[in-house]
Amino acid sequence: FIAGVTARTAAQLVGVNKNTAAYYFHRLRLLIFHNSLHLEMFDGEVEVDESYFGGQRKGKRGRGAASKVAVFGLLKRNGKVYTVAVPNTQTATLLPIIREQVKPDSIVYTDCYKSYDVLDVSEFSHFRINHSTHFAERQNHINGIENFWNQAKRHLRKFNGIPKEHFELYLKECEWRFNHSEIKVQFSILKQLVKQNLF
């Protein structure tokens, strides 16, 4: 699991039934999910962005792409990431998440999406990134959260489709892997979670 391989690959490597491996991988994802729902609030410089996850299909792309899952993410610079699947990317959906996860007076970086307009008159210092004019201009960027989206999508592509009802488990797994990037730390955390919850 820690190596980031699929349950099928793990089953072949270890010599167990693929359903057995899938069962234990699912249990590990459940443990990660339930233990990463509430991170400490972010402060300082925070990057905010939304992305869409789902299968490749022709037709509508970008924001609001049909049949894709909308995901909202916040990344504390040089720190952790927090993600949540959302029903839509409207202000009424995103602002409460920002207020719940980011301390007032923090610096919030976003792109120019209209849902972030309200941040101009909020308790945060708001800076917009216009990708066409200054993609990575000194501190004025959201490269960190966009890097996370790329890592998460690369990891999830291995699974050739994820059941929608389990998507958040896989999303939190990606968040957990990003927040605990050292293999030794991942192993230690999982060992502790298994001890506390499965015995």
Element (H, E) at 8: helix 7-14
Question: At 57, is the pLDDT very low, low, confident or very high (cuts 50, 70, 90)?
Answer: low
* Structural domain boundaries enclosing 107: 45-149
Tell me if 170 is assigned to some domain. no
Element (H, E) at 52: strand 45-53
Q: Cα separation of 18 and 88, whole Å?
A: 35
Average pLDDT score, the chain: 89
Tell me if 137 is assigned to some domain. yes
Residue from 167, 169, 173, 171 nearest 186 by CA: 173
Mean pLDDT computed over 92-109: 96
Of all residues in the chain, what percent are helix, strand and coil, respectively (each to 5)? 45, 20, 35
Provide the 8-state DSSP code for 42.
B
Residue from 32, 29, 51 nearest 149 by CA: 51
Residue from 31, 47, 40 nearest 148 by CA: 47
| Domain of residue 62, CATH code | 3.30.420.10
Tell me if 10 is assigned to some domain. no
| 178: pLDDT strictly greater than 60 | yes
Tell me if 33 is assigned to some domain. no
Tell me if 69 is assigned to some domain. yes
Mean pLDDT computed over 21-33: 94
Q: Categorise residue 161: left if φ over 0, alpha if ψ from -120 to 50, beta otherwise.
A: left
Tell me if 145 is assigned to some domain. yes
Mean pLDDT computed over 53-59: 65
Instruction: Give every strand in the sheet of 107-111, ordered side by side.
Output: 81-86, 69-76, 45-53, 107-111, 125-129
Q: What local confidence, expressed as pLDDT, does residue 81 receive? A: 97
Could you read off the pLDDT of 110-152 as tens digits, one per residue? 999 999 999 998 999 999 988 666 555 566 788 999 999 999 9
Tell me if 75 is assigned to some domain. yes
Residue type, 72: F
Residue from 42, 65, 71, 66 nearest 170 by CA: 71
Domain total in the chain = 1
Q: What local confidence, expressed as pLDDT, does residue 99 receive? A: 96
Q: What local confidence, expressed as pLDDT, does residue 109 receive? A: 96
Tell me if 31 is assigned to some domain. no
Q: What local confidence, expressed as pLDDT, does residue 93 receive? A: 97
Higher-confidence position of 141 and 156? 156
Q: What local confidence, expressed as pLDDT, does residue 88 receive? A: 96
Could you read off the pLDDT of 160-175 as tens digits, one per residue? 888 889 999 999 999 9
| 59: pLDDT strictly greater than 60 | no
Could you read off the pLDDT of 6-25 as tens digits, one per residue? 999 999 999 999 999 999 99
